[in-house]
Structure 1
């Protein structure tokens, strides 16, 4: 009798939709092509890493917080011509980021196609940066705990800091 009951329970459990949590790695593998190499937040935070940092999120996200000295280039209104005017050296190390590293890969690919040879996508984006306790700054150049998470759905990936979204 126990065997029969166990078999029935296993059947119903197997029929239920999977509730397994998707990992960050799985999410990025699903959305990205890896055409631009990743750089870890730990590597970017190292004092010896000298890179120009480009924030590819929307302006309202950047206003809430960003990585220190990051230059906002946006996503929806990204202008390759205007950006390349600021980036004269095509061998300059450039790190692009967004919330998680999905939008930033698309912008990085445009820069790569324009001839930039030393470009990296920040693995896990600003969320991974904050999740590893690295500081963020607001427009007044003051450290902040607030992070714009783009949407409620994406906010589950931010484990530290105060979440702001427009949903």
Structure 2
């Protein structure tokens, strides 16, 4: 029942055009109600970790569809299927490797974080606000190794959380916009 109420609250806030801050709080509440034991990492914290010149760079996992990933993703991110039960591509990672998972707003990635915790990974985090917040803050996203200013909006409802100028529904066939 709590999950249903959180989902309804989030949809109402999105559809009524509430402030961005209130809308993000509703999204965060929805994720916390569904995945209460999922640790998160802020975009500021991730940016600092990526900027540090240490060898302990976190593994970035993109839990969006292939179409979303093709438009853009965080530099160095690997795409994973958010509905998968296992992630064989991660079999070579130590269970204490730092992993940060993101999607559009953080819901699908929270499920991946939970699955990775179940598989024994101990330092796995959900990126709070995911790629929408990251890109809205002007942080870099890439396609084919080149920085772009485009993010797939997922759908019309959730895309309201993405700055309009960043909306791109598909990657161009020739690689340019």
Give 2:106's aligned residue: 101
Give 1:152's aligned residue: 156
Per-residue CA shift, 1:89-130, capped at 9, x if unaligned?
000000000000000000110000000000100000000000
In the superposition, relative to structure 1, how do residues 83 and 36 fare at CA in structure 2: closer, same or farther (>3 Å)? farther
Which of residues 123, 134, 153 is equivalent to 1:129?
Answer: 134
Count matched residues: 147
Structure whose alpha-carbon radius of gyration is higher:
1
In the superposition, relative to structure 1, how do residues 69 and 20 fare at CA in structure 2: closer, same or farther (>3 Å)? closer
Is residue 75 from structure 1 mapped to residue 77 from structure 2 by the alignment?
A: no
TM-score (norm 1): 0.80
Q: Is the 8 A contact 2:62 2:79 kept in 1?
A: yes
CA RMSD, 1 decimal: 2.1
CA–CA separation in structure 2 for the residues paired with 1:43 and 1:160: 25
Higher helix share: 2
Q: Is the 8 A contact 1:152 1:165 kept in 2?
A: no
**After TM superposition, where is structure 1 displaced by more than 3 Å over at least 4 residues in a row?**
17-20
Q: For structure 1, list consecutive stretches of 5 or more residues without a partner in the other structure.
A: 1-16
TM-score (norm 2): 0.76
Give 1:62's aligned residue: 69
Per-residue CA shift, 1:72-94, capped at 9, x if unaligned?
11224x351423324x2000000
In the superposition, relative to structure 1, how do residues 27 and 82 fare at CA in structure 2: closer, same or farther (>3 Å)? same
More displaced, 19-28 or 118-127? 19-28
In the superposition, relative to structure 1, how do residues 35 and 83 fare at CA in structure 2: closer, same or farther (>3 Å)? farther
